[in-house]
Chain A
Amino acid sequence: AQSVTQPDIHITVSEGASLELRCNYSYGATPYLFWYVQSPGQGLQLLLKYFSGDTLVQGIKGFEAEFKRSQSSFNLRKPSVHWSDAAEYFCAVGAYSGAGSYQLTFGKGTKLSVIP
């Protein structure tokens, strides 16, 4: 079965600083990988996804992520954080279950706080 680990529960950065959120996954085949963002009291919004091709993927709001198969990682980055980026970020891996149906498995999330 697939799994996702987000090692950092809470990260605080200053506005304008760079950001990297870590994600490690476990899956036997080539994974479908996703980053979602959740603002307080809201649902989840897709930032970016990867399933083939260029290992550096660009997403919305200036985010990017790099897939590294050798490290089983899919870290999310942003060169300059804005106060509006304060939210919770979830990494997820998509895979087929034993029953042949597709589902996502989420990490536990990383909460990002931004200092003005």
Chain B
Amino acid sequence: DAGITQSPRHKVTETGTPVTLRCHQTENHRYMYWYRQDPGHGLRLIHYSYGVKDTDKGEVSDGYSVSRSKTEDFLLTLESATSSQTSVYFCASQRGRAGDTQYFGPGTRLTVL
């Protein structure tokens, strides 16, 4: 499996505070993705990156921003966390070609009180 790590693995924060989640991959994959997983909704794409400094919005991007300054790191920021952003967040990476396997990290459980 690809080496994808996420940090932190668990976080509890309060409404209105900024939060940054980190995804790190060691496979030199071109594509990286952030998803959120909520009961009854499956995985929904928040943002993705198709190269360093190249990012685009996914299905549920409102309230989130991302940055990718290095191939291996993809950061997800909640500028002002809300209770509706309580979720499990997964990062994934993919080498590049359509049809390539997308590898997932272990997830970050975020609770916004």
Contacts and interface: CB of A to CB of B under 8 A. Distances in A.
A49 B56 contact: no
A41 B63 CA distance: 25
Size bracket, chain A contacts: 20 to 34
A63 to B, nearest CB: 15
B102 A104 contact: yes
A103 B90 contact: no
B101 to A, nearest CB: 5
Nearest to A32: B99
Interface in B2-42: 4, 31, 33, 35, 40-42
B101 A101 contact: no
A43 interface: yes
Contact of B56 (A32, A90, A97): A97
Size bracket, chain B contacts: 20 to 34
Given A43-B106, A46-B101, A103 B42 contact: no
Interface string A91-109: 0001111010111111111
A44 B45 CA distance: 14
A15 B44 CA distance: 32
Contact of A101 (B4, B41, B56): B56
Interface in A62-95: 90, 94-95
Nearest to B45: A103
Given A96-B98, A105-B45, 12 more contacts: A34-B102, A43-B107, A44-B90, A44-B104, A49-B99, A51-B98, A90-B42, A90-B43, A99-B56, A102-B50, A108-B40, A108-B41
6 contacts: A36-B104, A45-B104, A46-B101, A102-B94, A102-B98, A108-B41
Closest 6 CB pairs of A and B: A43-B104, A108-B42, A44-B104, A51-B99, A106-B43, A32-B99
Interface of A: 32, 34, 36, 42-46, 49, 51, 90, 94-97, 99, 101-109
